[in-house]
Structure 1
Amino acid sequence: MPQPSQVDDGVRDLVAVPGGHVELADRRTETRWRVAVAPFLLGRVPVTQAQYRQVLGASPSMSDGADLPVETVSWFDAVRFCNALSVAEGHEPAYVVDGEDVTAVEGALGYRLPREAEWEHACRAGTTTPRYGDLDEIAWYADNAGGHVHPVATRAPNAWGLHDMLGNVWEWCVERYDPVVYGEYRVLRGGGWSDPEWSCRAGVRRRSHPTFAIEDLGFRVARSRAVDRGQPSS
C-alpha cells in the first residue's frame, strides 16, 4: 500500500492519505458494507483552539489552551470553520450554508469534514485490529486522561502519522448517521477523553444532532485531491 506524506498546506498540517478500501459496520443494525476510498488530505491532528481562533476570532471551548483541541463545537460550527479557512487560503468553499441548510459544492477542493469511510480508513492506517496500537500509548481516554482534554499530538501517532484519531475528542464526520431513523443526526467517530476503553476503537460509530456541542467533541479537516472531485452531502 502507498505510504502517506506530509503536505505543507497553509494553516493546516495535512497528511496525504492513500486510497484503498474499508469495511464499515453498524452494531445497532448488525450490517456491514465495503467502501472504496480515494486518496485525500486529512489534518494530522484535530483542529486546535489556536487554529480556530485564527480563522474565526474566538473559541467556544470549555477548556483553555492554544494546543488543546477545539471542543464544544457543533457540526454547523465545524462546517463554518471549513468554509472560512477555505476562503482565507484562497480555495473554493466546500459548502453552501444557508442557516441550517448545508449543501456540498460539487468539485470544490476547499476544506471539509471527512467522510466516515475516509475517517476509518485513515484511523486504521492499514491495520485490521480495533486500535492501531496500545491504547494508553495512542489515546487520552477515561483511564489516563485525568478527567480533562489534552494538547494534540501528545500521544503516539498511527503508521500514517495521524495523531489523536482515538481518544481526546470525538470527531464530526460529514454524513448523516441514518436519515430514515435519525433524520439530520451526523456521525461521530474516535472516542473522547471521558470515554471508556470500549468506545475508543476504529470501528465505533456514534451520532448526534448537528447542533449538539459538548466538551469532548471536536473535529479535523479534510480536503479532496484533484483526482477526487466532489463530495456527497449525506
Structure 2
Amino acid sequence: MITVPGGQVTLTDRRTQHSWTVDVAPYLLAAHPLTQDAHARTTGTPDGGRLPAHSLAWWDAVRYCNALSLQEGLTPAYHLHDTTYDGDDGDHDADGGITWDRNADGYRLPTEAEWEHACRAGTTGPRYGPLDDIAWHRGNSGERIHEVATLRPNPWGLYDMLGNIWEWCWDLYDPEVYGSYRVLKGGGWYDPHWSCRTSVRRRSHPTLRIEDVGLRPARTLRPQP
C-alpha cells in the first residue's frame, strides 16, 4: 500500500460539461491493481499469478474488500444489508442498501476523487507520462491483459493507474439518470489511447462482470492520537 497525500482534485464529466472540486484526505492505496494470486489467497479462486484479477462485479469488489479486512483482523468498511445478490444478474436492487463505515480501518474501494487524485500524482496533463511507457492499451497490449507493475509507475509509485484494467470506484455515476451504475476509471488493455486518460469516466451496472474490469483496494488512514 502507498500512502497518498491529501490534496484537492477537480473532476470533470464531459457528458454534462460539469466540473466539481473535491478535497481529498490522506489515505492508503494499493501500488497496483489486485492480482489474481492475491485474490486467490483470500477467496480460494484459481490463481493466475501477477495478472490483474478481472471479471469482478462491483458487488464482488465490495465483498472482497470485506473478506480481506476480516482476514487481516481489520474492521470491514462495508455493511451489506442485501443478502439476495449471489453474483448473477437479475431484477433485484443491485445496490442492496450498502453502507460505508468511513471510520473503519478495513479495505475499501477508492472514491472517484481519491482515484483521480492518486492517478494524477501532482501532474496536470491528461496522463502522468507518455502512454506507451505507463499503460497497456489497444496499441501496445497485443489485445491481452498483462502482469501488473511491468511499466513505469506514476510519481507516487502507483503502477497501472492507466491501461491494463478498469478499476471500480465507490461512487454512483449519476443516480438521477443511471440509477445504481458505479464509476470505473483508468482504461483497459483493449481501449484506444483517448480512453486511457486520467479524467475519463466510465459507468457500469454493479453486477457487470467483464474481462477488463477489476479493482485496486484502498484503506482509510486513521488520525494519529
Tell me whether the two structures share a fold, i.e. TM-score over 0.5: yes
SS in 2 for 1:127: coil
Q: CA deviation at 1:152?
A: 0.1
Counterpart residue number, 2:111: 115
Q: CA deviation at 1:65?
A: 2.6
Task: Report the count of equivalent residues.
Answer: 211
Equivalent positions of 1:125-144 (< 5 A) are 125-144=121-140
Are 1:69 and 2:56 counterparts?
A: no
Deviations 1:133-153 (A, max 9, x none): 000000000000001000000
- 118 and 106 in structure 1: CA distance in 2 versus 1, 3 angstrom threshold: closer
Q: What is the rounded CA distance, in whole Å, between the counterparts of 2:134 and 2:102 in structure 1? A: 36
- Alignment partner for residue 31 of structure 2, among 44, 47, 52? 44
Deviations 1:137-181 (A, max 9, x none): 000000000010000000100000000000000000001001111
Counterpart residue number, 2:90: none
One-letter amino acid of the counterpart of residue 157, structure 1:
P
Q: CA deviation at 1:22?
A: 0.3
SS in 1 for 2:108: coil
Counterpart residue number, 1:188: 184
Identity of aligned residues (%): 59
Counterpart residue number, 2:120: 124
- Segments of 5+ residues of structure 2 without an aligned counterpart are 84-93
Q: What is the rounded CA distance, in whole Å, between the counterparts of 1:35 and 1:96 in structure 2? A: 25
Q: Would the aligned equivalents of 2:181 and 2:203 in 1 still touch at CA under 8 Å?
A: yes
Alignment RMSD, CA only?
A: 1.1
- Segments of 5+ residues of structure 1 without an aligned counterpart are 1-13, 229-234
Counterpart residue number, 2:5: 18
Deviations 1:168-213 (A, max 9, x none): 0000000100111100000000000000000000000010000001
Q: What is the rounded CA distance, in whole Å, between the counterparts of 1:106 and 1:166 in structure 2? A: 27
- Alignment partner for residue 55 of structure 1, among 18, 26, 42? 42
Q: TM-score, normalised by structure 1?
A: 0.88
One-letter amino acid of the counterpart of residue 219, structure 1:
L
Q: TM-score, normalised by structure 2?
A: 0.92
Q: Would the aligned equivalents of 2:187 and 2:197 in 1 still touch at CA under 8 Å?
A: yes
One-letter amino acid of the counterpart of residue 65, structure 2:
C
Counterpart residue number, 1:80: 63
Q: Would the aligned equivalents of 2:102 and 2:220 in 1 still touch at CA under 8 Å?
A: no
In terms of mean alpha carbon deviation, does 163-172 or 91-100 score higher? 91-100
- 106 and 153 in structure 1: CA distance in 2 versus 1, 3 angstrom threshold: closer
Write 1 or 2 for the structure with the bigger share of strand. 1
Q: CA deviation at 1:107?
A: 1.2
Q: CA deviation at 1:45?
A: 0.4
Counterpart residue number, 1:231: none
Counterpart residue number, 2:87: none
Q: Which consecutive aligned stretches of 4+ in structure 1 deviate over 3 angstroms post-superposition?
A: none
- 106 and 165 in structure 1: CA distance in 2 versus 1, 3 angstrom threshold: closer
